[in-house]
């Protein structure tokens, strides 16, 4: 099949799932240490830049954006979307197995739904083919 993903492309999708979720967790951990920021205390945002958790979070989120942009260059937005949602599952599972938080039944339900969504989309093509355009490409190649 023409639109089968290469191993490096699967790696990009997995990086999207991990960088967004871990980056967000690091940012929120760091901002808890920095304290509440509101419009009257914007100076705290400057302090936040010196927090290692915030810095690590920013680096991971820049990485996420690079991976996301790369994925959109060879896959449909509706194909990449469930991968970004899988980040929420990673956060929930990190909470369960790393921080030993209890997950409620509804949260397990949410995890199951997102896992199913990834399965539905992964079974189909990554990119919409437009037969007319493909014919034009083929014609141009002759």
Partner 1 sequence: MLSSQTINIWGSILFVAALAVAGEVLIAAGMKQLGDLDDIRAHSGLLGAIRAVLTNAFFVVGALCMALNFFAMLFALSIADLSLAAPAIASLTYIGNAIAAKLFLRERVDHRRWLATAFVAIGVLLLAH
Question: In this structure, what token pair is assigned to residue 133?
Answer: 């355009």
Does residue 41 interact with partner 1 by CB under 8 A?
no
Among 1, 7, 38, 140, binds partner 1 (CB under 8 A): 38
Does residue 30 interact with partner 1 by CB under 8 A?
no
Q: Is 58 exposed, middle or buried (0-12, 13-18, 19+ CB in 10 A)?
A: middle
Question: What minimum distance in Å lies between the beta carbon of 69 and partner 1?
Answer: 6
The one segment of 14-22, 50-58, 64-72, 134-142 that binds partner 1 by CB under 8 A: 64-72
Q: Is 105 exposed, middle or buried (0-12, 13-18, 19+ CB in 10 A)?
A: exposed
Does residue 88 interact with partner 1 by CB under 8 A?
yes
DSSP H helices, 35-104, are 43-48, 52-74, 77-97
Does residue 33 interact with partner 1 by CB under 8 A?
no
Does residue 102 interact with partner 1 by CB under 8 A?
no
Does residue 20 interact with partner 1 by CB under 8 A?
no
- Compute φ and ψ for 4, nearest 5 degrees: -70, 140
Question: What minimum distance in Å lies between the beta carbon of 56 and partner 1?
Answer: 19
Q: What is the DSSP letter of 89?
A: H
Give the separation between CA 87 and CA 25, rounded to whole angstroms: 11
Q: Which residues bind partner 1 (CB under 8 A)?
A: 8, 38, 69-70, 72-74, 76-79, 81-82, 85, 88-89, 92, 104, 106-107, 109-114, 116-118, 120-121, 123-124, 128, 130
């Amino acid at each position: 099949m023409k639109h089968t993903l290469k191993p490096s492309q699967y790696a990009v999708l997995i990086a999207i799932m991990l960088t967004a979720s871990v980056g967000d967790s690091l940012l929120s951990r760091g901002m808890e240490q920095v304290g509440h920021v509101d419009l009257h205390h914007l100076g705290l945002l400057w302090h936040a830049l010196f927090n290692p958790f915030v810095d690590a979070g920013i680096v991971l989120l820049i990485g996420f954006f690079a991976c996301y942009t790369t994925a959109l260059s060879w896959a449909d937005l509706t194909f990449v979307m469930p991968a970004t949602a899988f980040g929420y599952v990673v956060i929930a599972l990190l909470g369960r197995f790393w921080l030993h938080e209890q997950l409620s039944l509804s949260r397990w339900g949410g995890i199951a739904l997102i896992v199913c969504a990834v399965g539905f989309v992964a079974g189909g093509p990554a990119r919409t083919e437009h037969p007319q355009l493909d014919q034009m490409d083929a014609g141009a190649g002759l």
